[in-house]
Structure 1
Amino acid sequence: MNLDLLSRQLIDRFQHGMPLCAEPYKEMARILGCRVGQVMACLEEMDQAGTLSRIGPVFEHSRAGASTLAALAVPAERLQQVAEHVSQYPEVNHNYAREHFYNLWFVLTGPDRQHIERVLEQLEKDTGLMPLDLPMLTAYRIDLGFALGESS
């Protein structure tokens, strides 16, 4: 995909941190020397094209409560149905299919570990499938980013 200059500038400049202020998109526009409408239209175009998957914060999970990586071994014919059901839980950040015995993976967050355990138990009751619970033992911060170059 060929990205235009504003798209490249937005990705290069803000993939590792948006302005922390009341009007972040307005501040992004000021920094890039354009109008906020241009920023919003560009982000919308990238979202619609599938170039942009998410705009949002990444929290240090241990400061915001509890979380776990979980997985289910779902029969192929039930995968879509179970994935849609799992996504209805407000504690589920996202879920995705993998080619493995455990083929549906998701991240659960909640105020404490007991809450996470209750959600996992409810998911087991709802689906008839036993979740694999993989809480983080050691955090590794990988600052993944992609410089697109020539963005100024």
Structure 2
Amino acid sequence: MPICAEPYLEMAQALGCSEDQVIACLQRMAGHGRLSRIGPVFEHRRAGASTLAALAVPAERLQQVAERISQYPEVNHNYAREHHYNLWFVLTGPDRPHLQRILDELQADTGLTPLDLPMLTAYRIDLGFALGDAP
């Protein structure tokens, strides 16, 4: 997305359509589960601290624990996986001690010990793909 005052309008101009059409298309995609979020992705090391965390949650508690985790504004991903560690989430905050306080709170609240996996090295991949007809 362009960084400007009217990103949807700029996208529309690049696509040769109206801003309303861009917004309607994005809403349709979200409605069909093809798009879950539109927003910035920050270089977390420049903005603070981040970690990937996981919990091994008993199946009967998965929904309850997931809802508890999602209450934190610092959580920007929270999803279930088919694994012993079946609930994964990403925490982003101002510094590492802040993240540790949240992990400690979650452990105290749930009785489950988080697996804390801070990123050591970033490996960038191009996730870009054509949205139109292939040439």
After TM superposition, the score normalised by the length of structure 1 is 0.84
Q: 1:69 aligns with which of 37, 52, 59?
A: 52
- SS for the counterpart of 1:129 is coil
Q: Report which structure shows greater RCO (CA 8 Å, sep ≥6).
A: 1
* Aligned: 1:124 with 2:111: no
Equivalence for 1:101: 84
1:40-72: per-residue Cα shift (whole Å, max 9, x none)? 111101110112122112111101100000000
What is the aligned length? Answer: 135
Equivalence for 1:146: 129
Tell me which amino acid in the other structure corresponds to 1:66. A
Equivalence for 2:97: 114
Tell me which amino acid in the other structure corresponds to 1:100. H
Instruction: Give me the whole-angstrom Cα distance separating, in 1, the residues matched to 2:21 and 2:89.
Output: 34
Equivalence for 1:58: 41
Within-5 A mapping of 1:13-24: 18-24=1-7
Equivalence for 1:82: 65
Instruction: Give me the whole-angstrom Cα distance separating, in 1, the residues matched to 2:100 and 2:24.
Output: 41
After TM superposition, the score normalised by the length of structure 2 is 0.94
Instruction: Give me the whole-angstrom Cα distance separating, in 1, the residues matched to 2:22 and 2:129.
Output: 19
Equivalence for 1:25: 8
Instruction: Give me the whole-angstrom Cα distance separating, in 2, the residues matched to 1:126 and 1:137.
Output: 28
Note the residue ranges of structure 1 that are not aligned, 5 or more in a row: 1-17
**Stretch deviating more after TM superposition (113-122 or 26-35):** 26-35
Instruction: Give me the whole-angstrom Cα distance separating, in 2, the residues matched to 1:148 and 1:44.
Output: 16
RMSD: 1.4
1:56-89: per-residue Cα shift (whole Å, max 9, x none)? 1211110110000000010000001100110011
Tell me which amino acid in the other structure corresponds to 1:63. R
- SS for the counterpart of 2:122 is coil
Tell me which amino acid in the other structure corresponds to 2:18. R
Tell me which amino acid in the other structure corresponds to 1:79. L
Equivalence for 1:92: 75
